[in-house]
Amino acid sequence: MMSVKKIGIILDDDFGSKHIPPYPKPSFISFEHPFRINCILNHLERIGIFQDIRIVKVKPKEIGDEILELAHSKYHIEAIRKISNIGGGLIDDEVFVTEDTFDLAQKAVGGAIEAIEGVINNSFTQSFALIRPPGHHAYREKSSGLCIFNNIANSILYLRKMLSYDKKIAIIDIDDHFGDGIAQYFYHDPSVLYFSLHEFDFTEGDIGMVDELGQDEGIGKNINFPVPEGLTNEDFDYCLDLLEPILHEFQPALIIVAAGFDMYYADPIGNCSLTSSAYNHFAAKILRIAEELCDGRISFVLEGGYDVIGLPYCVEAVLKALLNEKYEPPVYEKDALLLGESKIEDLKKIKNMLTRLLSPYWEHL
Ligand SMILES: [Zn+2]
């Protein structure tokens, strides 16, 4: 085990200045803004986190088309490049492209790769890629839901194909939305466990259903935990308890967290009721499990999270857990704790259903 803690934070000024959404008025796409990164970095500077000798600032890996092509069709890559070259435009209601989107989306993939490669080659014990645009909705052939390229899936395919890294990898997706893009890449792959906790519309129906378990050899390795809106800190913790026996049985060599913070109570897109402390407890729990299973190897890769006041605290909450330091939530969150009512009874039913569906594929469930 590596004795010296070193946390790599992957940064680049471009994430705080490029790929600016159109802003006719506040809307879904306008929230995926460079301010997200600037607010996180201002806050981390203000609390002195970069003075800690265990924190290292790292640049994204420079990559070219040959790396993007591991995860995306040439058609998709060319389409994004061409739309950027003509100055950008809307792909649909949920994806915008600007003149610098191609470069930034490519850099985001390079950022995720740097974070993950650095952890497997022991340059850092843990890492956090503070990148945008997010990636977990992007498919091989198309962009979707604010995502251009699939940062995490592309990183894993890079490890597999360029580094011949064949060890098991667990992805834990805590973004408010189902990471349909990541799920489709590994739906048949028994070497990648995908666990997603996501808000789900039980009335109208939604994506990321509980009985999508994976296929062929990958069956049982896609785990969707849909939750109702209004999820509280206590509920979040309750749902994640399901992970521990699964991770122990799966024995990953690396854990990647698709770190979306849009379950935060003040998020303008998500409808859940978490405070930043929920992410602190989550990160502490995953760190403990990772230390038991895989020398503490965890990479956090930023996905969603659009409340620019709360997002910096959520990132701080994760880093403090990784540093084994006490996290003090902002005073204003005290009122937020009164917001949500626990949904434990509903969640018990979902958890029981999931356990029943998964039990043929997991001995310890
Ligand atoms: Zn999201």
197 Cα: distance to centroid of ligand 1 (angstroms): 11
Beta-strand runs (E) in the chain = 7-10, 55-58, 88-92, 95-98, 126-129, 169-173, 192-199, 222-227, 254-259, 298-302
Separation of alpha carbons 156 and 160, rounded Å: 6
**Distance from the CA of 180 to the center of ligand 1, in angstroms?**
11
Q: What is the largest CA-CA distance in the chain?
A: 54
pLDDT tens digits in sequence order for the chain, 365 residues long: 546 999 999 999 999 999 999 988 888 999 999 999 999 999 999 999 999 999 999 999 999 999 999 999 999 999 999 999 999 999 998 999 999 999 999 999 999 999 999 999 999 999 999 999 999 999 999 999 999 999 999 999 999 999 999 999 999 999 999 999 999 999 999 999 999 999 999 999 899 999 999 999 999 999 999 999 999 999 999 999 999 999 999 999 999 999 999 999 999 999 999 999 999 999 999 999 999 999 999 999 999 999 999 999 999 999 999 999 999 999 999 877 667 788 999 999 999 999 999 999 999 98
Between helix 101-120 and helix 74-85 the angle, nearest 10°, is 130
Nearest 5°: the CA angle 137, 150, 92 is: 45
255 - beta bridge partners? Answer: 170, 298
Report the phi/psi class of residue 89: left, alpha or beta, with left for phi > 0 and alpha for psi in -120 to 50. left
Q: 272: CA distance to ligand 1 center in Å?
A: 11
Residue from 137, 198, 281, 364 carrying the catalytic annotation: 137
| Single-letter amino acid code for the residue at 88 | G
CA–CA distance, 105 with 110 (Å, rounded to integer)? 9
pTM: 0.98
Find the 194 Cα to ligand 1 centroid distance in Å: 16
* 248 flagged as catalytic: no
Q: Give the number of other Cβ atoms within 10 Å of residue 217's Cβ.
A: 11
Pairing of strands 169-173, 126-129: unpaired
